[in-house]
Structure 1
Amino acid sequence: MAGPTSSEFIEGNASTVQAGQSGDYRFALIALTSLFFMWGFLTCLNDILIPYLKNLFELNYTQAMLVQFCFFGAYFIVSIPAGNLVGKIGYQKGIITGLVIACVGCLLFYPSASFASYNMFLFAFFVLAAGITILQVSANPYVSALGPAETASSRLTMTQAFNSLGTTVAPFFGSWLILSTIEHPDSVTELDQVIGTLSAAEQASTVQVPYLILAGALFLLAMTFLFLKLPQLGKKTVEEQVAQSSKSAGSAWKYPHLVMGAVGIFVYVGAEVGIGSFLINFLTQDDIGGLTESQAANYIAYYFGGAMVGRFIGALVMQKIKAGKVLAFNAICACVLIGLAMFSAGTVAMWALLLVGLCNSIMFPTIFSLALKDLNQHTSQGSGILCLAIVGGAVVPLLQGMLADSLGIQLAFILPLLCYGFICFYGLVGCDAKRPQGSN
């Protein structure tokens, strides 16, 4: 999933650095791009670990979805404090802080595995996500600031593409270093026999080396940004904080298209994360793909890779067709594909669900931009509301897990289907809801 991008990151950049005037920041932008790759990579690894931890601790689907609940719950809890922190210390120090906290989160996987404690794993996910949240709050506006304002959107689009690249590559990493280490590639029966000979701690230790590698990478990035000579941007004076607060407090909630847009972000993130979280379990079913978990993990790359490809296609299409209509079309296609996945079997059901990733491609940025349209001085508050709505990634998968436990994994996809139904409504009707008079 792409990180939140809002016009607040661009509109107020009076301090934008002109690269030609103040130096060449190409290396800095490359370093920033690596951050987008890393948090996409780390977020997608959750989809690998959910079935792994489910088997390890013998969890039901609801309990397994607590991984996403803790991870995306951190967005809701940490976003506002992160914004306040970055306002005090600036973008560069905010990035370093986020990297260090994410590094600590990765390191916590080691004792979690040693003690074979699911609760410790959940805490590690929360700490990791808290660091990623601070990174997002810092890195998005920093990318827009390092260069001419007129090309800020282009730079953000480029870096977001690397976020999608991270989500595409991560499944192969997870399959190779985590799932394949305890799986026999020939059959699920032999897999059960192998797992049965290992203790819980021995099975859990499989995640130690991969997350130590990731912790090392995050630490190196933190050291890189510590010694980079970059413009000190993002730090707000007390007067600026008071002025921003008094300018936008409370009024953004009067815009119905923003409120419905927040619901749209909530259900979109929830649907995207929910589908990704259940993909491996879905593909390993005998009547769907009959794959081992290691084999199924590789197919997640098609789900997120489709989103990456579709983003470029959608950007071209929306130059010719109204964004709301493109959003509704993609949502309708997603509903049809999920319906096929629910009520068919074999390769049809398998590829129908994987192709939903292609439909997801333009949804997050499109809903975000449509919801912020015409907010004027209330844009900052509106973008904050939309960022908080990312908590849908915590709530919807948990509800889907409850449905899977009671109805079965296939019928549980009715929840994402309903989510895309609302997104279709928003693209056709909700985004054009009448603006309140005299509110600007």
Structure 2
Amino acid sequence: MNHATSKVTVSKKSGTGNNYLIPLILVTSLFFFWGFIHNLDPILIPHLKKVFTLNDLETAFVDFSVFIAYFVMALPAGYFMRRYGYKSGIIVGLLFFAIGSFLFIPAANTQQYIFFLGALFIIACGLAFLETAANPYITILGDPETATRRLNFSQSFNGLAAFMAPIIGGKFILSGTEYTEAQINAMLPADRQIYLAQEAASVKGPYLVLGIIICIIIVLFAVVKLPDIKHEEESTDSNNGASISKILKHKHLKWAVIAQFFYVGAQVCILSFFIRFATTAAGISQLQASWYAGAAGLAFMLGRFAGTFFMQFIAPNKLLILYASINVGLCFLAIFGTGMITVYALIGISFFMSVMFPSIFSMGISGLGHDTKLGSSLIVMSIVGGALLPLGLGYISDLTGNIQYGYAVPAVCFLVVLLYAAKYWQPQQNHTNNNLL
């Protein structure tokens, strides 16, 4: 069977030429914004748990609403961008992002949990477009030899957001007033209604400001000219169109989808339940825990920069093997440890898991040629792991009455990443296209 080959061309529109600096800055900013919105979820989970008196499994539907959107929208995003290009896909994604942010205002006014979940779903539909576009766009804008390092660098700003979001969200969303469910139920009905209304309303300001900022970013993308990356196909295949069954014959892509499913599930479990875990396992307050969550975000950011540096000397798959092995050990410390050592274990996991997403992504789309956009969509679809695996953590926590036992879930996830990096990461020679990546 003859396989298509392709080469990459960059449309040199006026004002761009070969200068990738402005496109890199604008696209890299997207990594910060979707990192920021994702890392508000660890604040939202304990906050909504308090407002709606939820158990751990019910709070996991915050993550489910976000990451199921990736599964629903990733392929439509990929097909959209194959037809209309990366820039159009980015603008559509930003529009979803802004609309979802503004919907937090009526959600807070109605005080209905389902409306919060709906707003998060719409935001995440936009993020599916953004991640489907931005990840491959970064890998292509520049020297193919440095694609993985360049993507890790851009994703480092996702880490910066992971540091800032819990601290900012903790300050403006968490009230610092922590009542038990029994204390809330003991309030007079009028007092309880006022208290819960105030707690629900605290999300309005942060999400309104975020929506306005995203609108400004939309204008910038609309007016700034970006190079349009195109894949010119030269094929003797009777069917030149990419298909899922065809590109999944690339074993390294198929396993990248599997590894990314489990990695994202692990990341969401670690970060989204961080505050809930810290207040239970270490006995600290939510506001204190939000600062430690910020420290985990800082560790995540530093891990991205450190990983980008180390990849100059260590092959990405070997670094993944080392980091995944360390994280399995740290998960066991979080499960069986006591006190603050368990919180420090989660911070350590944040550092070592930081390079996993961009490394799996860039290795997974390596050699796909004209199938890169659809391959990117499949890897983005695998982010649905962030919707499903936290439900398992929440279920184990509720079943055992100990959230620490739920961290067996990310331990298994890191074992799958270890398997991918050790055995299945390398493209098959007959599928490798050396003209791309």
Q: Which TM-score bucket, shorter chain as reference? A: 0.7 to 0.9
Match of 2:403 in 1: 409
Segments of 5+ residues of structure 1 without an aligned counterpart are: 1-10
| TM-score, scaled to structure 2 | 0.85
The whole-number CA distance in structure 2 between the counterparts of 1:410 and 1:322 is: 33
Instruction: After superposing the two structures, state which structure 1 stretch, 17-26 or 297-306, moved more.
Output: 17-26
Match of 1:355 in 2: 348
The whole-number CA distance in structure 1 between the counterparts of 2:200 and 2:77 is: 32
- Structure 2 matches for 1:398-437, cutoff 5 A? 398-407=391-400, 408-431=402-425, 435=428
Segments of 5+ residues of structure 2 without an aligned counterpart are: 1-5
Report if aligned partners of 1:46, 1:68 keep a CA contact under 8 Å in 2.
yes
Instruction: After superposing the two structures, state which structure 1 stretch, 94-103 or 272-281, moved more.
Output: 94-103
The whole-number CA distance in structure 1 between the counterparts of 2:331 and 2:412 is: 10
The whole-number CA distance in structure 1 between the counterparts of 2:100 and 2:67 is: 14
Report if aligned partners of 2:42, 2:271 keep a CA contact under 8 Å in 1.
yes
Tell me the alpha carbon deviations over residues 2-54 of structure 1, each in whole angstroms, 9 at most, x when there is no partner: xxxxxxxxx85312549997275644543333222111101111111011101
Instruction: After superposing the two structures, state which structure 1 stretch, 346-355 or 323-332, moved more.
Output: 323-332
Tell me the alpha carbon deviations over residues 178-207 of structure 1, each in whole angstroms, 9 at most, x when there is no partner: 01xx214xx767996799544232220010
Report if aligned partners of 2:147, 2:362 keep a CA contact under 8 Å in 1.
no
After TM superposition, give the deviation of residue 117 of structure 1 in Å.
Answer: 0.3
Match of 1:213 in 2: 209
Match of 2:307 in 1: 314
The residue identity in structure 1 corresponding to 2:422 is L
The whole-number CA distance in structure 2 between the counterparts of 1:256 and 1:284 is: 42
The whole-number CA distance in structure 2 between the counterparts of 1:370 and 1:143 is: 14
The whole-number CA distance in structure 2 between the counterparts of 1:315 and 1:362 is: 8
The whole-number CA distance in structure 1 between the counterparts of 2:299 and 2:421 is: 21
The whole-number CA distance in structure 2 between the counterparts of 1:356 and 1:80 is: 31
| TM-score, scaled to structure 1 | 0.84
The whole-number CA distance in structure 1 between the counterparts of 2:294 and 2:219 is: 30
- Structure 2 matches for 1:14-413, cutoff 5 A? 14-15=9-10, 17=12, 22=17, 26-143=21-138, 155-179=150-174, 182-184=175-177, 197-199=191-193, 200-228=196-224, 230-231=225-226, 233=228, 246=241, 250-285=245-280, 288-373=281-366, 380-407=373-400, 408-413=402-407
Q: Against the structure 1 CA distance between its residues 224 and 249, is the aligned structure 2 distance closer, same or farther, given a 3 Å change threshold? A: closer
Report if aligned partners of 1:255, 1:436 keep a CA contact under 8 Å in 2.
no
Q: Against the structure 1 CA distance between its residues 410 and 40, is the aligned structure 2 distance closer, same or farther, given a 3 Å change threshold? A: same
Report if aligned partners of 1:88, 1:235 keep a CA contact under 8 Å in 2.
no
Q: Against the structure 1 CA distance between its residues 398 and 163, is the aligned structure 2 distance closer, same or farther, given a 3 Å change threshold? A: same
Report if aligned partners of 1:86, 1:235 keep a CA contact under 8 Å in 2.
no
Name the structure, 1 or 2, with higher relative contact order (CA <8 Å, separation 6+): 2
The whole-number CA distance in structure 1 between the counterparts of 2:222 and 2:13 is: 22
SS at match of 1:63: helix
The whole-number CA distance in structure 2 between the counterparts of 1:293 and 1:195 is: 22
The whole-number CA distance in structure 2 between the counterparts of 1:28 and 1:417 is: 38
After superposition, the CA RMSD in angstroms is: 3.4
The residue identity in structure 2 corresponding to 1:386 is I
Q: Against the structure 1 CA distance between its residues 160 and 295, is the aligned structure 2 distance closer, same or farther, given a 3 Å change threshold? A: same
SS at match of 1:345: coil
The whole-number CA distance in structure 1 between the counterparts of 2:212 and 2:186 is: 29
Identity rate of aligned residues, in percent? 35
The whole-number CA distance in structure 1 between the counterparts of 2:121 and 2:391 is: 15
Report if aligned partners of 1:19, 1:148 keep a CA contact under 8 Å in 2.
no
Match of 1:8 in 2: none
After TM superposition, give the deviation of residue 65 of structure 1 in Å.
Answer: 0.6
After TM superposition, give the deviation of residue 375 of structure 1 in Å.
Answer: 5.3
SS at match of 1:13: strand
Q: Against the structure 1 CA distance between its residues 128 and 195, is the aligned structure 2 distance closer, same or farther, given a 3 Å change threshold? A: farther
SS at match of 1:67: helix
After TM superposition, give the deviation of residue 313 of structure 1 in Å.
Answer: 2.2
The whole-number CA distance in structure 2 between the counterparts of 1:352 and 1:195 is: 37
Q: Against the structure 1 CA distance between its residues 255 and 367, is the aligned structure 2 distance closer, same or farther, given a 3 Å change threshold? A: same
After TM superposition, give the deviation of residue 94 of structure 1 in Å.
Answer: 2.7
SS at match of 1:71: helix
